[in-house]
Amino acid sequence: MHRIPSWARTRDPLFILSFPAAAALGKTVRSMVTDPEVQAEAILEIRRRFPRQAAFTGLMDLSLEAEAFGCPVRFADDDLPTVLEPVIHTPQDAKALV
């Protein structure tokens, strides 16, 4: 059986509540991944509801980078962006990006 170290029992958890915060604010998932002001509002809402040493959204959406390289991306109000198809099919395609 594992014993929890004493330092782990005394630390506050760090919540990652990106999309629950958006819902609490009446915002969409789309707005969370496309509008930095909504992201900031969400961080403040997390902080207000769950006071901790730090607050962050944990948003890491690489579909924006894929879109910048030419991949078609579908954005929906209630779901994360989806890359529809790759633009790289061969090693030559990858070299052409440089």
State residue 34's pLDDT score: 85
Torsion of CA 59, 57, 42, 9, to 10 degrees: 160
Distances (CA, A) of 6 to 1, 9, 11, 12, 58: 16, 5, 9, 13, 27
Q: Phi first, then psi: give them for residue 43, nearest 5 degrees.
A: -60, -45
Instruction: Pick the more confident residue, 28 or 64.
Output: 28
Q: What is the pTM of this model?
A: 0.65
Provide the pLDDT for residue 58.
Answer: 66
pLDDT of 92: 93
CA 63 – CA 41 distance, rounded (Å): 22
Mean pLDDT (the chain) is 82
pLDDT at 17 over 70: yes
Q: How would residue 11 be classed by pLDDT, with cut points 50, 70 and 90?
A: low
Work out the average pLDDT over 9-13.
66
**Which stretches of the chain are DSSP H helices?**
6-9, 18-25, 29-34, 36-49, 63-68, 91-96
Confidence of residue 57 (pLDDT cuts 50, 70, 90): low
Structure-model confidence comparison of residues 88 and 54, the more confident one: 88
Under the banding of pLDDT at 50, 70 and 90, the label for residue 12 is low
18 three-class SS: helix
| Cα angle for residues 40, 45, 46 (degrees, 5° grid) | 100
